A and B are shown apart, each in its own frame.
Chain A
Amino acid sequence: MDGHEPSSRVEALAGASKGSNAAISLIANVLVGGLMGYGIDYLAGTLPLFMLLMLFMGFAAGLRTIWKQLNSKPPQDSAE
């Protein structure tokens, strides 16, 4: 808001999309992590171990995703 005029309409929309992403990213990452952990446990027969581990991993992955989304830069056009 501090005199930060978006240069185009696309950029303004991109800001809105970033905000809308964060919460669902976090939840989906935790759930997918837990699911993957449960899969490992199901195959290895070590039920609560990997599921709990991967739930926390999923939380970390969710935070990491949000961090990356908020810091994303436009790509270099030369990288063809």
Chain B
Amino acid sequence: MSGPLHQFEIQQVASIPFMGFDIAVTNQAITMLVSLTIMSALLILGSRQRAMVPGRLQSFVEMTYEFVEDMIKGTAGRAGLKFMPLIMSVFLFVAVCNVVGMVPGAYTSTSQLFVTALMAFGIFAFVIAIGFWKHGLEFLGMFVPAGTPWWLYWLIIPLELISFFARPFTLTVRLVANMVAGHILLKIFAGFAVMMTASAVDAPFVMYGGFFAVVGLIAAFIWTGKKSMLWAALAVLGALGVIAVFSGGMGIIATFMPSMFIFVITILEVFVALLQAYIFTILTCVYLNDALHMH
């Protein structure tokens, strides 16, 4: 059985030579394309009919749209609505990639640092560009919060600089760490379940143990009236049978428990997948808000 990190390995499926470079088609690239297709198909099919009374798909798309709209209004204000296409794409892409990663056997593209780092640093650069475009050089005033006395400038400016440049790193690491941790946990519990099943001889153990336990019980009952060596020996055998039933039962429970954990963690991970997409998006909105309104 492969280790818990095996699922994050990138495997080359095909290679396309292009101007001396090798454009490798990997399992990760394919999953990302699949996510992109799902995301586009969802929006195109959902908004194609434009019914007054929306069908199931259309109302799902409308709900997603309104969810993102609320998110932008709540963090970046109305001025942020201009960036709806960007933020909606970021949200849908991260959410769909995360959820596709939850499909057994599929690759989790957001578990690769490069994917999230590219998005995070792209957003970071975009926010800086918006800031300078909106406010010119006054944007640098963001590093001096309003109401700071001049004799604290030496302290506050480095602090603001550090926390500003830490943003893309937090954005990158949070998403990757959450996805990787969840999937490793799932894989480890799956490994437990397989190991337990392989080592368990539970069913015959419990059956024979049960048989001996019943025989032993009867023997012990007879032994109380008729004290002979034979019945005593059979009673001891019965006690061993009881132990066998218990240990075999424990084995069955031990096989069963990791499976239950996997079930629970899978539900939790789907929630985490959506939550992390939400967090990634809302932080994008917050950073956009800083560039639009400063503080």
Tell me which residues across on chain B come within 8 A of A57, comparing CB atoms.
158-159, 162
A71 to B77, CA, bound (A): 17
Residues facing A in B143-199 (CB within 8 A) are 158-163, 165-166, 169-170, 173-174, 177-178
A1 in contact (CB, < 8 A): no
Tell me which residues across on chain A come within 8 A of B293, comparing CB atoms.
75, 79
Whether A36 and B162, one on each chain, are in contact in the complex, defined by CB atoms closer than 8 angstroms, is: yes
A32 to B163, CA, bound (A): 8
A61 to B289, CA, bound (A): 20
Residues facing B in A29-80 (CB within 8 A) are 29, 31-33, 36, 54, 57-58, 60-62, 64-65, 72, 74-77, 79-80
Whether A25 and B170, one on each chain, are in contact in the complex, defined by CB atoms closer than 8 angstroms, is: yes
**Size class of the A contact interface (CB-based, 8 Å):** 20 to 34
Q: When the two chains form the complex, which single residue of B75, B162, B174 contacts A61, counting CB atoms closer than 8 Å? A: B162
Q: A8-B70, A80-B78 are in contact. Are A61 and B170 (CB under 8 A)?
A: no
Tell me which residues across on chain A come within 8 A of B177, comparing CB atoms.
24
Q: A24-B174, A25-B170, A77-B78 are in contact. Are A64 and B70 (CB under 8 A)?
A: no
Whether A80 and B163, one on each chain, are in contact in the complex, defined by CB atoms closer than 8 angstroms, is: no
B67 in contact (CB, < 8 A): yes
Tell me which residues across on chain A come within 8 A of B275, comparing CB atoms.
13, 16-17, 20
Quick one: closest A residue to B294, CB to CB? A79
Tell me which residues across on chain A come within 8 A of B76, comparing CB atoms.
75
1/0 contact trace for B253-295 toward A, CB 8 Å? 0000000000000000000000100110011001001000100
What 11 additional pairs, Cβ within 8 angstroms, besides A10-B74, A62-B163, A75-B75?
A10-B71, A14-B74, A24-B170, A31-B166, A32-B162, A32-B169, A60-B159, A61-B166, A79-B79, A79-B293, A80-B77
Tell me the A residues contacting B by CB distance below 8 Å: 8, 10, 13-14, 16-17, 20-21, 24-25, 27-29, 31-33, 36, 54, 57-58, 60-62, 64-65, 72, 74-77, 79-80
Tell me the B residues contacting A by CB distance below 8 Å: 67, 70-71, 73-79, 158-163, 165-166, 169-170, 173-174, 177-178, 275, 278-279, 282-283, 286, 289, 293
Nearest 6 A/B pairs, CB to CB: A61-B162, A32-B166, A17-B279, A75-B77, A28-B170, A28-B166
